[in-house]
Structure formats: C-alpha cells, structure tokens
Amino acid sequence: MAKFSKKQKAAAELDREKLYTFDEALVVLREHKVKFDETVEVAMNLGVDPRHADQMVRGMVSLPSGTGKDVKVAVFARGDNAEKATAAGADKVGAEDLMEEMQNGDLDYDRVIATPDMMGVVGRLGKVLGPKGLMPNPKLGTVTPNVEQAVKDAKGGQVEYRVEKQGIVHSGIGKLSFKDADIKANFKALTDAIVKGKPSGAKGKFVKKIALTSTMGPGLKIDLSEVEGA
C-alpha cells in the first residue's frame, strides 16, 4: 500500500470546493511546499471554444516580477541584427545554419524570434516549430525588426499565454521563493491581460473558474472577485 507524506495527507483533506482569496491560497501553497523551489501556476477556465478563430485567446504579457526561469532564446537574424541579438543575450543566433539544426531536432528553446526578412527561412520550419508553439508570429512580437528588445523582453519575464482545446489557459507566474507581493503582481498582470484580451466571439461569462497551484501543491479555487473584470 502506498505511503503518503503528512503534506500529501493534508492536501487530500483540503476542501476542494472552497473559494480562496489569492493571499489565502498562497498561504496554503507555502504550507505544502517541498524541498525544491516550485513554480506557482495559474489555470483559467474560459468561456470560449478555441476551434473558432474569433474565440482564440493568445498573447504576450510581461510579468513585472519575472518568472524565475532561465529562458532560452533562439534568433533568426543576419548582420547588425544578429550582433544586437547576441549582445541582448540570445542563446543562439543564426540563419540557414540554425534552420538546419532545428530540422535535425535541436529545439531546446523557450522562444524563437525572427526579423521579417528571415521569414523565408523560418517558414520552412512550420511543421517543426508549429506543434511546439515556437513559430515566430508578428502578432506576438516574435517577428520584429527590433530583435534586441524582443530578446530582452523574453529574458526579462515576458510570457506567452494560449488557450487550450478545453478552453483553459495555464501559465507559470513565478516561484514559491518569490515574495508574496511579487507573485501577486504577476498574477494581476496575467489575469488583467487575459480579461482585457477577451475575443469578439466570446459570448456569456468569459472567466468561469480560476485556480492557483504549485508544482507539487494542491489546486485551489480562487474567488473570481480577485480578478478585475472577471
């Protein structure tokens, strides 16, 4: 018979239907923390069907307190733009050589950025980058002539959010080692961006449920009054 730790037993005994304020939920997650620095995550259940283009929810938001994660960035650029991307901290900068590496399976990146003139090269990677959500996109600011700023944004705490088939958006908003105020600032930045980005095709209640959890912690329902506009 499997043995459970005291924290696992305590988590199992939590009232799963209780609605928490953000501050209350954070206290509970800290009570259940483990030895490594867990990621704090938000899940928002939205009233959309992403199979319809006018109900897609996707965008970028800069988390004011950062993510606590080392973001690996690849940039498709040449000449001065390549030098600027490297100076800004890109992990890999290239053109056809980078394309070939990715075609051969080197896809260990969190963000792929490209200058507009490189899209002829990047376009050949659609079947490789697309399924991983890494394809550069002008609407997300990952196809841009200002690669220097795009790299700095990616490294500085900018995250992409995208609704899944079930109508849920998942995103990390920092580490449990962050101060409460820093995690809360990130939570507000993310939820504000999603609420303000309500698509034209969304009808009825947009934000149905919000949950806060950590890598090994319990999932806690957040009172919708904690999110402005929800």
What pLDDT score does 106 carry?
Answer: 94
CATH number at residue 81: 3.40.50.790
Q: 86 and 188 in one domain?
A: no
Within-domain flag for 91 = yes
Q: 189 and 80 in one domain?
A: no
Q: Which residue has the higher pLDDT, 4 or 224?
A: 224
Within-domain flag for 130 = yes
Q: 117 and 165 in one domain?
A: no
Within-domain flag for 11 = no
Number of structural domains, the chain? 2
**Using one digit for the tens of pLDDT, what is the confidence trace for 72-95?**
999 999 999 999 999 999 999 999
Within-domain flag for 50 = yes
Within-domain flag for 5 = no
Q: 78 and 151 in one domain?
A: yes
**Using one digit for the tens of pLDDT, what is the confidence trace for 171-194?**
999 999 999 999 999 999 999 999
Q: 105 and 49 in one domain?
A: no
Q: 199 and 99 in one domain?
A: no
Q: 166 and 146 in one domain?
A: no
**C-alpha distances in Å from residue 165, one per residue of 47, 55, 121, 168:** 12, 11, 30, 7
**Average pLDDT of the chain?**
91
Residue 41 C-beta-side C-alpha neighbours within 13 Å:
16
Q: 170 and 98 in one domain?
A: no
Only one residue has tokens 């220097």, namely 148
Distance of alpha carbon 183 from alpha carbon 203, whole angstroms: 30
pLDDT at 137 over 60: yes
Q: 165 and 123 in one domain?
A: no
Query: Which domain range does residue 107 map to?
Result: 73-155
Within-domain flag for 214 = yes
In this structure, is the dihedral angle defined by the CA atoms of residues 190, 196, 198 and 204, taken in order, positive or negative?
positive
What pLDDT score does 151 carry?
Answer: 96
Q: 141 and 166 in one domain?
A: no
Q: 185 and 142 in one domain?
A: no
CATH number at residue 214: 3.30.190.20
Q: 170 and 145 in one domain?
A: no
Single pTM value for the model:
0.82
Helix or strand (DSSP H, E) at 193? helix 180-196
Domain boundary among 130, 155, 180: 155
Within-domain flag for 197 = yes
Only one residue has tokens 């002539």, namely 145
**Using one digit for the tens of pLDDT, what is the confidence trace for 96-120?**
999 999 999 999 999 999 999 999 9
pLDDT at 3 over 60: no
